[in-house]
Amino acid sequence: MATRTQEPGLAASTVTDPTTGAALAGRRRRITPGRVINYVLLVIVGLIFLIPLYWLLTAALKPSAEIYSWPLTFIPRSLELGNFVQAWSSAPFGRYLVNSAIITLGGAALKLVLAVLTAYAFAYLPFPGKKVLFLLMLGALMVPGHVTLLINFITVGRLGLVNSYLGIILPGVASAFGTFLLRQHFLTLPGEVLEAAELDGAGHVRRLISFVVPMARPAVITVALLALIDEWNGFIWPLIATNSDEMRTLTIGLLFLKANEGVDNWGAIMAGTIFVVTPMLVLFLIARRYIVSGLAGASISR
C-alpha cells in the first residue's frame, strides 16, 4: 500500500496532530476583549441605522392616536392599513412613481455608460493631457452639487428643457465618482488578457464589451447601484427643473403629501415614505454582495 510522505516540521504537525489542530481551532474561537468591543460597536451602529427604519414601518401601520401616545409603543396595537390608501390618494403617487422610474432608469443608464467609456479611456488610452484631465475630474468630486444648480437651470432653460425628462436627467449624467471607481478597478485587471485580445484583432469596443466589463462586473454593478440610488433620491434638482405635478417625482411627492396632510397625520406621511424607501432597499439587498467586492477592487491600482 502506498503511503503519503509528509515534510517534517510545523506544517506536518499541524496537519496530522489532532491536539494541535484543536488548539488552533480553540484560538480561533477564543473570545477576546477586543473582539467583544468590536461586536458591541457593530450592534450599536446597526441599531442606529435599523431603529429609524423600524420606527418608519411601525408608524406607517399605527393609527394617529397611537403615534402620539405616551409611553411609546414599539409594536402597533392595531394595524392601520388605511394609511397607505390615504397616502396614495392624497397625492398622485401613481404619476410620481412613473416619473421616478423613467428618470431613474434613464439617468442611471446614461450615467453608467458614460462612466464606463470615460474610465476605459483614462485606464487604457493614451491621449494628450490625460493626467491633467484626470486631476480635474478628481477636483469635481470636491465641488458640492448645489454650486452648479443655477448654471444648470440657466442652461436647461435656454435649451427649452424645463419641465421635461431630459431637463432632469442630462445635467447629472456625468459621474466623477463612478468614473474614478471604474478607472481604478480597470487598472487592476490582468493586462495579459487585453494584450491577447489585441493580438487577435479586437478593437477597443470589443475589448471593452467582451473583456473589460465582464471582468469588472462587481465594480460596474456597484456604480450602477449607486447611480440608481442617486437618481431615485434626487430632490433639489427635480424640484427646480419642474413646474407641474405631471413631472414631479416621488421624493417631491412626499413634500406635497406633508403639505396636504399637515403634521397631524404622520401615519399617512410615513406610509408615503415607505413607497419611496422600499424599491431602493430591495435593490440594495439584492445587489449588496457586489458592493464590497466592487469597492475593494478599486482600492488597488497601478
Q: Spell out the per-residue pLDDT of the chain, length 302, in tens.
A: 444 444 444 444 444 455 555 444 555 567 787 788 888 898 998 888 888 888 888 888 888 777 777 777 778 877 778 888 888 888 788 889 999 999 999 999 999 999 999 999 998 888 888 889 989 888 888 888 788 888 999 999 999 999 999 999 999 898 888 999 899 889 888 888 888 888 888 888 888 888 899 988 888 988 998 899 899 988 899 999 988 888 889 888 888 887 766 566 788 888 888 888 888 888 888 877 766 665 555 554 44
Sign, CA dihedral 69-74-77-79, equals positive
The whole-number pLDDT of residue 58 equals: 85
The whole-number pLDDT of residue 10 equals: 42
Task: Kindly state the cell numbers that stand for 158.
Answer: 435656454
Is residue 119 a contact partner of residue 183, using CB atoms and an 8 Å limit?
A: yes
The whole-number pLDDT of residue 13 equals: 42
Per-domain boundaries in the chain: 31-80, 91-190+217-297
Query: In this structure, what is the dihedral angle of CA atoms 228, 232, 233, 236, given to the nearest 10 degrees?
Result: 120
Is residue 261 a contact partner of residue 268, using CB atoms and an 8 Å limit?
A: yes
Q: How far apart are CA 164 and CA 201, in angstroms?
A: 43
SS (H, E, C) the chain: CCCCCCCCCHHHHHHHCHHHHHHHHHHHHCCCHHHHHHHHHHHHHHHHHHHHHHHHHHHHCCCHHHHCCCCCCCCCCCCCCHHHHHHHHHCCHHHHHHHHHHHHHHHHHHHHHHHHHHHHHHHHCCCCCHHHHHHHHHHHCCCCHHHHHHHHHHHHHHCCCCCCHHHHHHHHCCCHHHHHHHHHHHCCCCHHHHHHHHHCCCCHHHHHHHHHHHHCHHHHHHHHHHHHHHHHCCCHHHHHHCCCHHHCCHHHHHHHHHHHHCCCCHHHHHHHHHHHHHHHHHHHHHHHHHHHHHHHHCCCCC
Domain 91-190+217-297 has CATH 1.10.3720.10: yes
Contacts of 277 (CB under 8 A, 6+ apart): 53, 56
The whole-number pLDDT of residue 156 equals: 92
The whole-number pLDDT of residue 27 equals: 54
Task: Kindly state the cell numbers that stand for 14.
Answer: 499541524
- Is the model's pTM score more than 0.85? no
The whole-number pLDDT of residue 8 equals: 44
